[in-house]
Homo-oligomer: A and B are copies of this chain.
Amino acid sequence: MSDFVHQRHKPPTSLERPRELVLVCAPLRSNINLSRIVRTASCCGVSRLITCGPSKIDPKIARVAADDFSIEKHRSLPPVLKALRDEGYQLVGLEQTTNSQSLHGFSFVHKTAIVIGNERLGLTEDALALLDHVVEIPVYGLPFSYNVSTATTMALYEYCRQFPIG
**Chain A residues with a Cβ under 8 A of chain B:** 2-10, 12-13, 15, 19, 36, 39-40, 42-46, 63-64, 68-69, 93, 95-100, 102, 104, 122, 125, 128-129, 131, 134, 136-147, 149-150, 153-154, 157-158, 160-161, 164
Contact A12:B144 (CB < 8 A) given known A6-B96, A134-B4, A158-B157: yes
Looking at the assembled complex, report how far the CB atom of A64 sits from the nearest CB atom of chain B, in whole angstroms: 5
Contact A7:B98 (CB < 8 A) given known A125-B2, A154-B153: yes
Most chain B CB neighbours (cut-off 10 Å) among A19, A129, A141 = A141
The answer to whether A128 and B36 have CB atoms under 8 Å apart is: no
The answer to whether B138 and A164 have CB atoms under 8 Å apart is: yes
The answer to whether B104 and A7 have CB atoms under 8 Å apart is: no
> In the complex, what distance in Å separates the CA atom of A139 from the CA atom of B39?
11
Contact A6:B143 (CB < 8 A) given known A153-B153, A164-B138: no
The answer to whether A68 and B142 have CB atoms under 8 Å apart is: yes
Contact A7:B140 (CB < 8 A) given known A39-B147, A104-B164: no
The answer to whether B4 and A141 have CB atoms under 8 Å apart is: no
The answer to whether B96 and A147 have CB atoms under 8 Å apart is: no
User: A126's closest neighbor in chain B, by CB?
Assistant: B2
Contacts of A154 in B (CB 8 A): 153-154, 157
Contact A146:B4 (CB < 8 A) given known A104-B164, A140-B15: no
The answer to whether B142 and A40 have CB atoms under 8 Å apart is: no
